[in-house]
Amino acid sequence: MAMRPCFDSIVVMKQISIQDLKAKLSGAVAEAESGSTIVITRHNEPVAQLAPAGARHVHRGRSVGTGRLRSAIRRGTKGRYLAVLADDRGNR
Q: Give the pLDDT of the chain (92 residues) as one tens digit per residue.
A: 566 666 565 666 799 999 999 999 999 999 998 888 999 999 999 999 999 887 666 667 776 777 776 666 666 777 777 777 777 777 66
- Give CA–CA dist 18/91, Å, rounded: 56
- Give CA–CA dist 48/29, Å, rounded: 14
Q: Which residues pair with 39 in a beta bridge?
A: 15, 49
> Where do the domains of the chain lie, and which CATH numbers do they carry?
14-50 (3.40.1620)
Does the pTM surpass 0.95? The reply is no
